[in-house]
Structure 1
Amino acid sequence: MRAFQIDTYGEPPVLRDVPQPEPGPGELRLKVAACGLNFADLLMLKGQYQERPPLPFTLGMELAGTVEALGADVAGPAVGTRVAAMGGSGGLAEQACVPAARCVALPDAMSFPEAAAFQVAYGTSHVALHHRARLQPGETLLVLGAAGGVGLTAVEIGKLMGARVIACARGAEKLKVAEAAGADHLIDSSSEDLRDAVKALGGADVVYDPVGGGQFMSALRATRPEGRLLTIGFASGETPQIPANLLLVKNLTVIGFYWGGYMAFRPEVLTDSLAQLFAWYSEGKLHPHVSNTLPLDKTEDGLALLRERKSTGKVVITP
Structure 2
Amino acid sequence: MKAVVCKAWGMPDSLAVEELPELAPGPGEVVVDVRAAGVNFPDVLIVQGKYQFKPALPFTPGNELSGVVRAVGPDVAGYGIGDKVIGFIPIGAFAQQALVPARALMPMPPGMDFDTAAAITLTYGTSHHAVVDRAGLKAGETMLVLGAAGGVGLAAIEIGKALGARVIAAASSDDKLAVCREHGADATINYSTEDLREAIRLATGGKGPDVIYDPVGGQYAEPAFRSIAWRGRYLVVGFANGEIPKLPLNLALLKGASLVGVFWGEFAKREPKANMAAMRQMMGWLAEGKIRPHISGRYRLEETAQALNDMAARKVTGKIVINP
Do Structure 1 and Structure 2 share a fold, with TM-score over 0.5?
yes
Which residue number in structure 1 is paired with residue 64 of structure 2? 62
Select the residue among 239, 257, 264 that pairs with 1:259. 264
2:116 corresponds in structure 1 to 114
- The aligned runs of 1:168-207 (5 Å cut-off) are 168-202=170-204, 203-207=208-212
Q: Distance in 2 between matches of 1:298 and 1:263?
A: 30
TM superposition shift of 1:263: 2.8
Tell me the residue number matched to 1:2.
Answer: 2
Tell me the SS of whatever aligns to 1:223: coil
Residue in 2 aligned with 1:73? 75
In the aligned structure 1, how far is the partner of 2:41 from the partner of 2:184? 23
Contact 1:70-1:76 at 8 Å conserved across structures = no
Q: Deviations over 1:89-133 (max 9, x none)?
A: 100000010111111101112110001111111111111111100
The correspondence for 2:318, drawn from 310, 313, 317, is 313
Deviation at 1:242, TM superposition (A): 1.7
3-state SS of 2:47 partner:
helix
2:33 matched to 1:28? no
Secondary structure (helix, strand or coil) at the match of 1:54 reads: coil
Match of 1:278 in 2: 283
Shift of 1:44: 0.3
Q: Which residue of 2 aligns with 1:229?
A: 234
Q: Give SS of 1:80's match.
A: coil
Partner of 1:163: 165
CA–CA distance in 2 between the matches of 1:256 and 1:172? 29
Contact 1:293 1:316 in 2 (8 A): yes
Take 2:113 and 2:224, find their aligned partners in 1: how far apart are those partners? 36
Structure-2 separation of matches of 1:36 and 1:60: 7
- 8 A contact 1:127–1:269 mirrored in 2: no
Offset of 1:284 from its aligned partner?
2.1
Give the aligned residue type for 1:132.
R
Is this contact kept in 2: 1:92–1:317, CA < 8 A?
yes
Secondary structure, aligned partner of 2:50: coil
Partner of 1:296: 301
Aligned partners of 1:172, 1:284: CA distance in 2, in Å? 25
Cα separation, 2, equivalents of 1:259 and 1:27: 23
CA distance in 1, matches of 2:214, 2:229: 16
1:98 and 2:96 correspond: no
Amino-acid identity (%): 46
Q: Corresponding residue for 1:135?
A: 137
User: How far does residue 264 in structure 1 lie from its aligned partner after superposition?
Assistant: 2.7
- Aligned residue type for 1:147: A
**Equivalent residues in 2 for 1:149-160 (5 A)?**
149-160=151-162
Question: Secondary structure of the equivalent of 1:166?
Answer: strand
What code does the residue aligned with 1:177 have?
V
- Which 4+ runs in 1 deviate beyond 3 A? none
Specify the SS of the correspondent of 1:75. Answer: coil
Quote the offset at 1:230 in angstroms.
0.3
Question: 5+ residue gaps in structure 2?
Answer: none
Structure 1 unpaired stretches of 5+: none
Residue identity opposite 2:7 in structure 1: D
Distance 2:31 2:314 in 1: 33
Q: What is the total number of aligned residue pairs between the two structures?
A: 319
Root-mean-square deviation over aligned CA pairs: 0.9
Using the TM superposition, give the Cα deviation of residue 249 of structure 1 relative to its aligned residue in structure 2, in angstroms.
1.2
Question: 1:249 matched to which residue of 2?
Answer: 254
Match of 1:287 in 2: 292
1:230/1:254 contact within 8 Å kept: yes
Measured against aligned partners, the alpha-carbon deviations of 1:61-84 in whole angstroms (never above 9, x if no partner) come to 100000010112112311111011
Whole-angstrom distance in 2 between the partners of 1:30 and 1:226: 46
Question: Which letter maps to 1:61?
Answer: N
Aligned to 1:52: 54
Measured in 1, the distance between the counterparts of 2:85 and 2:51 equals 26
1:82 and 1:105 in contact (8 A); partners too: yes
